[in-house]
Amino acid sequence: MTHSTELARVLTEIDDRRLMRRFINEIFTPAEIQDMALRWRLMNMLHEGTPQRTIAKRLGISLCKITRGSRVLKSRNSASKTILNHLKGVSHASRKKTGKPA
């Protein structure tokens, strides 16, 4: 089993948000967490259709990093795109039921 496979297995076993947050804070440095959060924000903005130059300006990151994220989302088998589509679908369904943002 590869290290990334083992980590993926561990992460998918955690179904408690507080435990997940504690686990992430224990195994990653604050800088690593900040970098992952920034990359996830970038992916969200790309998924929403925000122009790359706008993302670069708002987040203070290079177009190179943004282009990589764009390529990931354009990939046919993109896990990130699958997850974002699912999250947006869940969020949209929640708003339809309650009439409020998710």
Domains delineated in the chain: 3-98 (1.10.1270)
CB 93 within 8 A of CB 85: no
Q: Give residue 102's pLDDT.
A: 46
pLDDT tens digits for range 32-74: 999 999 999 999 999 999 999 999 999 999 999 999 999 999 9
Give the C-alpha separation, 43 to 73, whole Å: 8
What one-letter code names the amino acid at 43?
M
